[in-house]
Chains A and B, each alone.
Chain A
Amino acid sequence: MIKVTELTKKYARTVAVDQISFEVEKGQIVGFLGPNGAGKTTTMRMLTCFMPPTSGSATVAGFDVLEQPLEVKKRIGYLPETPPLYPEMETSEYLTFVGKLKGLSGPELKKRVDSVCERCAVADVKTKLLGKLSKGYRQRVGLAQAIIHNPDVLILDEPTAGLDPKQINDTRDLIKSLAGDHTIILSTHILPEVEQTCEQVIIINKGKLVATDSVHNLQARARGAESVLVEIAGRNGNLDLTAVQKRLEQIGGVSRVQYKTSHANRNIFEIESQKGFVRGDLARAVVEAGWDLNELKSAAMSLEEIFLQLTRGEVKEAAAKGAQ
């Protein structure tokens, strides 16, 4: 649905987006991830034909953003970082205006306005002035405006920024419910959001593509080095922590043992291993030493850690290049 090849955007002094290439299949939700200033908004603006790329190309539904911008725009719904609302308009009037801009008219237009109002839960503020709406409603009207013409592709720039936790959840559910009919790219710098809503992740940092993969694969990739949490208790309530530490370190494959907490008298150790499965050896060792094994669980690396790992690696590489 979306194909981006070596897309580059240069400003007078800086390179905002540096030769990014990726593809998005029809019907997918893709998370566009990166710290602030990584080039997410710039990339999205190029995809929506708001600004032309310096070099490289991007096609949406087979249409090039430079050659056939009108065709691309017809197929894209775009929610910029701040919803583009006219404060002096009423909600339904605004949606009607946007619908007309996107080429709808007559009864079709009326039907679409009603349906997006329902879908985005803004029907109860239909006759309110946009300038008087709360942040959550503004964001939802922004979303309603993006889907009014039932576009193939939805591009959402930080759709949950500035919302309260309940609104964030509602918005995520809404986005997920849109996934079937639309291909969605959403940018964010909040990682759990990607884990919860997206199937694919594109991570960029400082204008460069760092990783593009499915959420599942990325998590699996980082799990190569497994980390396990064990809770151990002594038989009679006393536990010699240093002894435990020593015993655990002797197990083959364990690379690091760290005492984490004794929160509410629970002694938790974090164990990192290089070779993969050490859980069996761990359990046996603990029991044989005469301690109680109260809990043992694998701690999957969150996307957050993967992200930090990846972006950190990038920084190191850059630093190494700089040193040469």
Chain B
Amino acid sequence: MRNIWIICRKELRSYFVSPIAYLLLTMFAIIFGFFFWNSLGYFVLMGMESQMRGQPFPMNLNEEVIRPLLSNAAVIGLFFIPMITMRLFAEEKRTGTIELLVTSPIRDFEIIIGKWLAALILYATMLLFTAVNFAFLFKYGNPDWKPLAVGYLGLLLMAGGLLAIGTFISTLTKNQIIAGAATFGVCLLLWVLEWVSGYETATWAKVLSYLSVVTHFQSSFVKGVIDTKDAIFYLTVIFLGLFFTTRSMESLRWRS
């Protein structure tokens, strides 16, 4: 446990002393802020229209603002995850510092979990910026906080899975660009897989759509529902991703 924390702190530090963290946080804050502004503007317009028609219908901040925004955050996250994970192992392999880690009295999985955890913490920090936006809703309206909290939990689980995949891909190469591009491709694919369910109902389509990381978020967490089935899906992805990373590190030793 102590070793995991040592690695994690070192990774967080190198995110935050380099421009990477600030760049990612700023970009995410701007993009998400833009989505928030649009979404809120539309909500306000709808509210005014319904009042002008003289027959106001019930409007719900949770359903009409928070929910679509959480979905947006999930998708924006897909684009940022490769940039978080690409350097994790690729850089250490290129500079040779991996030799220090591997020859220290610390287990492979401690290195891997430490790095993955640091990536997850950076992602969580990004999500913090969405909370700044949502805080305004709580100031001027009264949305329910529980579905929002569940939504965040879902986002973290989903990101945890994708970050684990990214970590794995980063062990495969010395080149950060390759690691980043490959992770981006996989993330994108895992998102669009659900589209097949739109026109096809055969078993293969169901399987493909099941594999899509976004489906499991859309079907429960975003609605404020914790579905064990979906939680287990994400936990499995996390486990498999990290498991393959340990295997990859082992084979690195046999080959290198």
> Taking A50-B103, A97-B6 as contacts, is the C-beta distance between A84 and B253 under 8 angstroms?
no
> Is the pair A84, B99 in contact by a Cβ cutoff of 8 Å?
yes
Say whether B103 contacts A48, CB under 8 Å.
yes
Whether a CB of chain B sits under 8 angstroms from the CB of A102 is yes
Alpha-carbon separation in the docked complex, A103 to B18 (Å): 27
The residues of B that contact A289 with a CB separation of less than 8 Å are none
Decide if A52 touches B97 in the complex (CB within 8 Å).
no
Assess A101 versus B6: contact at CB under 8 Å? Given A50-B99, A78-B103.
Answer: yes
A100 to B107: give the CA distance in the assembly, Å. Answer: 14
B101 beta carbon closer than 8 Å to chain A: yes
From known contacts A80-B96, A98-B100, infer whether A51 and B253 are also in contact, taking CB-CB under 8 Å.
yes
The interface size of chain A toward B, counting residues with CB under 8 Å, comes to 29
Main secondary structure of the interface of A (DSSP, over half): loop
Chain B residues in 8 Å Cβ range of A49: 102-103
Partner of B105, one of A50, A73, A80, A145: A73
9 contacts between A and B (CB under 8 A): A11-B255, A50-B103, A51-B254, A73-B105, A73-B106, A78-B103, A80-B100, A84-B98, A89-B14
Give the residue name and chain of the A residue nearest to B10 (CB): A97
Query: Are A52 and B95 touching (Cβ within 8 A)?
Result: no
Q: Are B253 and A78 in contact (CB under 8 A)?
A: no
Residues of B at the A interface (CB closer than 8 Å) are: 3, 6, 10, 13-14, 17-18, 95-107, 253-256
**CB–CB A101/B253 < 8 A:** no
**What would 4 more interface pairs be, CB under 8 Å, given A71-B105, A73-B105?**
A11-B255, A50-B253, A80-B96, A88-B14
- Which B residues lie within 8 Å of A78 (CB)? 99-100, 103
**Cβ contact within 8 Å between A102 and B253:** no
Contact between A70 and B105 (Cβ–Cβ < 8 Å)? yes
Chain B residues, CB < 8 A from A11: 255
Whether A85 touches B105, Cβ cut-off 8 Å, given contacts A51-B256, A52-B254, A101-B3, is: no
Docked complex: A259-288 residues within 8 A CB-CB of B: none
- B6 x A74 contact (CB < 8 A): no
Interface string of A41-75 (1 = CB under 8 A from B): 00001001111100000000000000000110110
Q: Is A196 an interface residue (CB 8 A)?
A: no
CB pair A82–B100 under 8 Å, yes or no, is no
Partner of B17, one of A76, A85, A88, A145: A88
Q: Tell me the complex Cα distance, A51–B255, Å.
A: 8
**A interface residues, Cβ below 8 angstroms from B:** 11, 45, 48-52, 70-71, 73-74, 76, 78, 80-82, 84-89, 97-98, 100-103, 145
Instruction: State the 10 A-B residue pairs at the shortest beta-carbon distance, nearest first.
Output: A84-B100, A73-B105, A101-B104, A84-B97, A74-B105, A48-B103, A80-B99, A51-B253, A82-B96, A100-B6
Given A84-B96, A85-B97, A88-B17, residue A73 in contact with residue B104 (CB < 8 A): yes
Cα distance A190–B96 in the bound complex, in angstroms: 23
Closest-CB distance, B11 to chain A (whole angstroms): 10
A84–B95 CB distance below 8 A: yes
Question: How far, in whole Å, are A305 and B17 apart by their CA atoms in the complex?
Answer: 52
Q: Which of A52, A74, A98 contacts B253 (CB 8 A)?
A: A52
CA–CA, A89 and B13, complex, Å = 9
Q: From B5, which residue of chain A is reached at the shortest CB distance?
A: A100
Residue of A nearest to B91 (CB): A86
B101, chain A: closest CB distance, angstroms? 7
Interchain CB contact under 8 A, A88 and B18: yes
Asked whether, in the complex, the Cβ of B101 is within 8 Å of the Cβ of A101, the reply is yes
Q: What's the least CB distance linking A112 to chain B, in Å?
A: 15
Cα of A45 to Cα of B96 in the assembled complex, Å: 13
Select the residue from B13, B95, B99, B106 with max chain A CB neighbours within 10 A: B99
Considering only CB atoms, which chain B residue lies closest to A93 in the complex? B13
In the complex, are the beta carbons of A76 and B96 less than 8 A apart?
no
CB distance from B15 to the nearest CB of A (A): 10
CA of A76 to CA of B104, assembled, Å: 9
* Of listed A49, A71, A81, A86, residue having the most chain B CB within 10 A: A86
From B14, B99, B255, contact of A86 by CB (8 A):
B14
Contacts A84-B96, A97-B6 known; A103 to B253 CB distance under 8 Å? no
Kindly report which residue of chain A lies nearest to residue B96, judged by CB atoms. A82
Nearest-neighbour CB distance to chain A for B10, whole angstroms, equals 6
Closest-CB distance, B123 to chain A (whole angstroms): 21
Alpha-carbon distance A97/B253, docked complex (angstroms) = 23
A102 & B105 in contact (Cβ 8 Å cutoff):
yes
Alpha-carbon separation in the docked complex, A101 to B5 (Å): 10
Q: Nearest Cβ in chain A — how far from B49, in angstroms?
A: 53
Of listed B10, B96, B105, B256, residue having the most chain A CB within 10 A: B105
A90 nearest in chain B by CB position: B17
